[in-house]
A = this chain, B = another copy of it.
Amino acid sequence: MKPVSNASKDTQKRILDIAEQLLLTRGFNAFSYQHISSALGVRNAAVHYHFPRKTDLGVALVQRYRRRFARFMEAHASLDPLQQLEGYFELTDAYFQQDEQICPSGILTTEYHTLPEEIQLEANAFITEMRDWAKTIARRGRDERVMTYPGTPEAMGEVMFAALQGGLQLARIDAGILDTIKQQIRDLLKVEKS
């Protein structure tokens, strides 16, 4: 149990918060330690003190997403599939409403070939977890006879996830597209908006 001061923990969290905002609006390659340090009111080297290399910061960001998404799944585990679907939609909306952020998986896959391997590995795990959650909703929806669709739950989950990822990006061009896609997914699953 190593003691970490409150100041350190707080600064570290604030760095992650600022970096997250920059990641989801500008992408990993288009933000610098300067952006973070000036937003935080400290010097460049202070950021390097907490996250020596930018790769460390990237890995920490994705790991935090994974912990957060694990808590999200846990909180929604006992809900029925229709509520889980709406919860998934709300998560998507929440991104866009905050500075037109997009889903982290969209950033990570688009910039994939330019990312350090350590971040790629975390991204793989994170995205697999998100895709699996979409598939789980589709599977439970069919098992509990509240969703009706052709094909396998796996395929339906992939389409739902891919459409929301793409939809979030396209919403930057046309904000209305996100609602259209959410409603069409409901229609394709033959469910009513709850």
Chain A residues within 8 Å of B, Cβ to Cβ: 25-27, 29-30, 100, 102, 105-107, 109-114, 123-124, 127-128, 131, 149-151, 154-156, 158-159, 161-167, 169-170, 172-174, 177, 180-181, 183-185, 187-188, 190
Contact = CB atoms under 8 A, between A and B. Distances in A.
B166 A106 contact: yes
A167 B158 contact: yes
Number of copies: 2
A131 B111 CA distance: 23
A150 B30 CA distance: 40
Contacts of A167: 158, 162, 166
A113 B25 contact: yes
A55 to B, nearest CB: 15
A contact face: mostly helix, strand, loop, or mixed: helix
A156 B163 CA distance: 11
Contact of A184 (B25, B151, B172): B151
A30 B170 contact: no
A108 B44 CA distance: 30
Contacts of A169: 105-106, 109-110, 112, 165-166
10 contacts: A27-B110, A105-B169, A106-B110, A107-B110, A149-B188, A159-B181, A161-B170, A162-B177, A166-B166, A188-B188
